[in-house]
Amino acid sequence: MTATSSGCFRYVQLSADEFRARLPEALAIYVTAMRYPDGTAEQRAPMWLTHALRAGWRCMAALDADDELLGIAYGYKGRAGQWWHEQVRQGLTRRSGVPEADRWLTDYFELTEIHVRPENQGKRIGEDLLRRLLDGVPSANVLLSTPEGTSRAWKLYRRLGFLDVLRDYHFTGDPRPFAILGRPLPLDAP
């Protein structure tokens, strides 16, 4: 675990073992922040654990003075054959063609999850987590998916220069429309 401080928050890079140890806490933030129904954490836990085994996986956490998790962000090197990659490739190819899909999906880091406790949102924790997570990522681009609609997350992504890659996309098994956003790396200085 490596740590840096900013204000009254401490940011740490979690190893896969540390991530596993904090998984229930991280999933509780995820469920609350996304307003998902009870039982969602149990469904997501195996997927999050599998993600931690992927090439290029990294995770940042924001902790308070009592070592409680305030926010978490993680991602990994996106590759062909991964579910998200294949879903996005299919959507991009259908709407924009193979060259646009190749442009974004050849060398990217997938920002898989970023969540901050609702009572701690608006304190730049999300931006700090995102910047720390992406610092030094060797990929050409970063991509993420987020539900369509105005939110603090949208404002953060726009402020950091994320562009529309694919809008109003429906992932298999989810009725909500999503936006795929991306931008070249590295991020601009704050």
- The whole-number average pLDDT for the span 69-89 is 97
Q: Which of 81, 84, 86, 78 is nearest to 57 (CA)?
A: 78
Look at residue 144 in the predicted model and tell me its pLDDT: 98
Look at residue 35 in the predicted model and tell me its pLDDT: 87
User: Can you give the pTM of this predicted structure?
Assistant: 0.93
174 band by pLDDT with thresholds 50, 70 and 90? confident
In this model, does residue 7 exceed pLDDT 80?
A: no
Look at residue 9 in the predicted model and tell me its pLDDT: 87
Residue 129 contacts residue 71 (beta carbons within 8 Å): yes
Per the structure block, which two tokens stand in for 75?
């991602």
In this model, does residue 11 exceed pLDDT 70?
A: yes
Residue 98 contacts residue 66 (beta carbons within 8 Å): no
Look at residue 2 in the predicted model and tell me its pLDDT: 47
Residues 122-153 have pLDDT tens digits of 999 999 999 999 999 999 999 999 999 988 99
Residues in the chain: 190
DSSP, collapsed to helix, strand or coil, labels residue 86 as helix
DSSP, collapsed to helix, strand or coil, labels residue 116 as strand
In this model, does residue 1 exceed pLDDT 90?
A: no
Residues 17-75 have pLDDT tens digits of 999 999 999 999 999 999 898 899 999 999 999 999 999 999 999 999 999 999 999 99
Look at residue 173 in the predicted model and tell me its pLDDT: 85
- The whole-number average pLDDT for the span 69-96 is 97
Active-site entry in 11, 76, 108, 157: 157
- The whole-number average pLDDT for the span 162-168 is 97
Q: Give every CB contact of residue 106 below 8 A, 6+ residues apart in sequence.
A: 140
Residue 41 contacts residue 31 (beta carbons within 8 Å): yes
- The reply to whether 157 belongs to the active site is yes
All structural domains of the chain with their residue ranges: 2-184
CATH number, domain 2-184: 3.40.630.30
In this model, does residue 5 exceed pLDDT 70?
A: no
In this model, does residue 4 exceed pLDDT 90?
A: no
Dihedral angle at the C-alpha atoms of 13, 15, 17, 21, nearest 10 degrees?
10
Look at residue 190 in the predicted model and tell me its pLDDT: 86
Per the structure block, which two tokens stand in for 126?
């999300």
Residue 132 contacts residue 11 (beta carbons within 8 Å): yes
What mean pLDDT is reported for the chain? 94
* Pair type for strands 141-147 and 108-116: parallel
Look at residue 8 in the predicted model and tell me its pLDDT: 81
Please, which contacts does 24-32 make with residues 24 or more away whose CB atoms are closer than 8 Å?
25/68, 25/69, 26/61, 26/69, 26/72, 26/115, 29/69, 29/70, 29/71, 29/72, 29/115, 29/116, 29/117, 30/72, 30/113, 30/115, 32/117, 32/118
